[in-house]
A and B are shown apart, each in its own frame.
Chain A
Amino acid sequence: MAHEHKLEIFRGLVKFKSNITKIWGIFFFLSVITIIEVAFGIIKPAFLVDNSFLAMKWINWLFIILTLVKAYYITWDFMHMRDEKKAMRRAVVWTAIFLICYLVLILLIEGDYIFEVYKDGFVKFDF
């Protein structure tokens, strides 16, 4: 269990020699992703900001997907989820993901609805 580590990441594309080199490899990978995020956040390329996909700007898709990638590697390699049993992994990860998706979906739809009410309602709101 804890003493054997799976040393392959990217579905076996990269295999590290030891757990320590894997840790540094993951650190490098996370740093690159963070640098990409910050660079996009500062430059804000117009074609990503002005176009949207499924009601969300492309740049926000990019940020959220990169964040999830980071979260995956922190959980899988720093928290050693990769080395746990499948049942353990699913008990923790699927529970959280299901509940969080549900909560976010409900609250964002509700927030958007209230925005519409403020915008189109008869009560003057901007004074």
Chain B
Amino acid sequence: MEATVVETGTEGKAWGGGNQPLRASYGKMMMWFFIVSDALTFSGFLASYGFSRFKFVDAWPIADEVFTHFPFLHGVDAPMYYVAFMTFILIFSSVTMVLAVDAGHKMQQKKVILYMFLTIIGGAIFVGSQAWEWKTFIKGDFGAVETKGGKILQFLDADGERVALRDFAIELPKTREIHEESNGLWFQKDGTQTTYNFEEVKAGFMADKSVLIRTQLKDEHGHHIVLSREASEAKLLNDGKLVVEGANLKHNEYGTPLFADFFFFITGFHGFHVFSGVLINCIIFFNVVIGTYERRGSYEMVEKVGLYWHFVDLVWVFVFTFFYLV
């Protein structure tokens, strides 16, 4: 093989690959270019969220009224506090990560171990918080009725406060037969049952004259329009179709199903990034512990995984703004 090697005499010069115009190592540069492409993926998601939101701009759910829960504080209206908490967790784990990188530059193995450990803990808390957020969102709160056109009708009491279906629906004798393999088509499953069916909600609504309906549509101040009692009755009787509790990919008690779809997709994709970031952090953490980088004489791997971890934080900053604030 030696015969094929051509000595050009330019080794170490610009033409021989001897200069590094960007002065970054191969691995670090590739991490940066991966981050650029991943940023474009996320901006594609967020831009399509913006597209759908602009498409239904007069009927989009208000995030403050959707995410109002805080763990262990039941019934307390706490809009956004929990997401703000999650944001702080992620920013703080970014700080410990960058401290680990700094300690790595100074070849302080013990400090890198400590800071990497704290970063992993922060990431785990964040993923757990997101799971809780999903659970709360899926379970739902007040329940709503979906119309034949797929619009959501929510219920308010006389004071204009949200009222849950369980507070006014009347239980009717059950006449429904359960669909089983023996009495129906074997390849069809019995559908998901809500706590109250539409007839029970309708009966309760007609009995309690103080309950009003709030529609998905918003007025010029951005508040959902509340119908008068007559209009509410007409709306429910003519257009009402089924009861919705919580949210999934097809139905969403908070408003248009697209909101839930994008919520699951974007926060899910971000949560998956955090999860894989925690895994990669763990690998690097154990490598630091067994002294791999100490022997290598460079902690650049910590720096590379740090870039990825900060990127995850960066994406969350945007998700936070466009999902919860704007």
Contact = CB atoms under 8 A, between A and B. Distances in A.
Interface size bracket, A side: 35 or more
B112 to A, nearest CB: 13
A19 B47 contact: no
Contact of B217 (A78, A95, A126): A126
Contact of A88 (B23, B40, B64, B84): B23
Contact of B50 (A3, A27, A85, A111): A111
Contacts of B81: 38
Question: What is the interface of chain B mostly: helix, strand, loop, or mixed?
Answer: helix
B307 interface: yes
B91 A34 contact: yes
A96 B41 CA distance: 11
A14 interface: no
A119 B53 CA distance: 14
Given A3-B105, A75-B314, A104 B43 contact: yes
Interface string B25-60: 000010011011001100110011011111111100
B314 A71 contact: yes
A108 B91 CA distance: 29
Interface string A1-27: 111000000000000000110011001
B107 to A, nearest CB: 11
B22 A64 contact: no
B133 interface: no
6 contacts: A37-B325, A64-B321, A71-B317, A87-B22, A96-B40, A107-B51
Interface of B: 21-24, 29, 32-33, 35-36, 39-40, 43-44, 47-48, 50-58, 64, 79-81, 84, 87-88, 91-92, 94-95, 97-99, 101-102, 105, 147-149, 151, 217, 221-222, 239, 300, 303, 306-307, 310-311, 313-314, 317-318, 320-321, 324-326
Interface of A: 1-3, 19-20, 23-24, 27, 30-31, 34, 37-38, 41-42, 49-50, 60, 63-64, 67, 70-71, 74-75, 77-80, 84-85, 87-88, 91-92, 95-96, 99-100, 103-104, 107-108, 110-112, 114-115, 118-119, 125-127
